Amino acid sequence: MTIISLEVINRGPVIIDGEHIPTAIAMSAPYGARGPIIYGTSNSTHLIGGAFDDRTFVLNEYGLGFGPGIRIRASALDDVSRWMEGIVSEYVGNNLVITTDTYHGTGTYSRQYLRHAPAPDHVVTRLQAEGKKEG
């Protein structure tokens, strides 16, 4: 961020040894929207593993760049080798819903780091679970 202006504002008659002392300093700087930030954290408790289904994460941050169709990885903050992935089906307010299709590891965790995940070459885990073959 670049600060364009800095202004000292004198408030009230504060005079020490004949010198007027500023009692408030105001700084202003232009800044815009955060942009498409596709990462955040959640304190929602989730099982990594189990059935592939919709999982709702209440994000700790608002106004992020998640949107339907984006592939997301939710990693346990306590053990980032444990994660689940899926496609965003809904993002309203700070509620993010993903439809899971693969995971690594198992366990129940209450703190996750969510970020964009590249599309896998093959979603073998889901296909195997549904008894289907690739292609």
Q: Give the mean model confidence (pLDDT) for residues 128-134.
A: 55
pLDDT tens digits, 82-95: 999 999 999 999 99
pLDDT tens digits, 11-65: 566 677 877 766 555 555 555 445 578 889 999 999 999 899 999 999 999 888 8
- How far is 69 from 39, CA to CA, in rounded Å? 15
DSSP the chain: ----EEEEE--S--EETTEE---EEEEE----------EEEE---EEESSS--EEEEEBSSSS----TT-EEEEEETTEEEEEEEEEEEEEETTEEEEEEEEEES-EEES-EEEEE-PPPS--HHHHHHTT----
Which residues touch 128 (CB under 8 Å, ≥6 apart)? none
pTM of the complete model: 0.64
- How far is 6 from 24, CA to CA, in rounded Å? 12
